[in-house]
Structure 1
């Protein structure tokens, strides 16, 4: 009976987050719990989400302007071009989806995991899906994938130094 609860909890958290204002801080435990729940729901490796999170470098409440006029939102830096699809995915208004991405770590991770799972469904390859998380352009995909691989190397060094890191959970 625990498995269905694990799958439903992130959905409930996402729904609640659409109506809950941002908090000043998010605990490391909540961040880890949300990341692992999002990975489980969308059947993507948590280590890939963690690597994307590390490379993207976003933070809760942040909106970053891109040179092409789009914006990246929250910890996973989800591009606002995904908003129409996320509105349908969450059955939410554009404003509610935007606020959830910006202000809820769980909603932001769920969106990132969902985007990654869509990329995997399209390509059948996690590395290509990770590269597509950032861009569909060949050159940009290659640069991003190199940054992800460097992040993985850093995560592996940290794991060897301390077996209780989030990446080894």
Structure 2
């Protein structure tokens, strides 16, 4: 069950990387966010010893080696965010040959609006309150802290996205 929550966290991290209604933000930071990003890793605080987080890290690494992206975010210059999330469609099989995790063929897609102000990413989805997340954007790496998604369950983890 905890693995399901971890996978849900990763999916939410991607969804929450979208922002509001400003389409005229041409700052360097917002321009750096433009493009397609794929979930490539999670970082875990060394002081945190959480088997579920460690297992999620292994799953992401395994699927990356198979050229399978679990979560893809596309930040467009029109201020829209398109996300594709395969986490809810993961199938983890354990057999005599070991662990088998096929790349999901189904995904959940969502469209949102985004605005970046400094390191504050605001995501707006119709019918919901805006979500503001503090991000780290450094070249081709985008990091979203787990505490921004769920402070009770993901303290010490960060979702890492790499620009494609």
| TM norm structure 1 | 0.24
Write 1 or 2 for the structure with the bigger share of helix: 1
TM-score (norm 2): 0.25
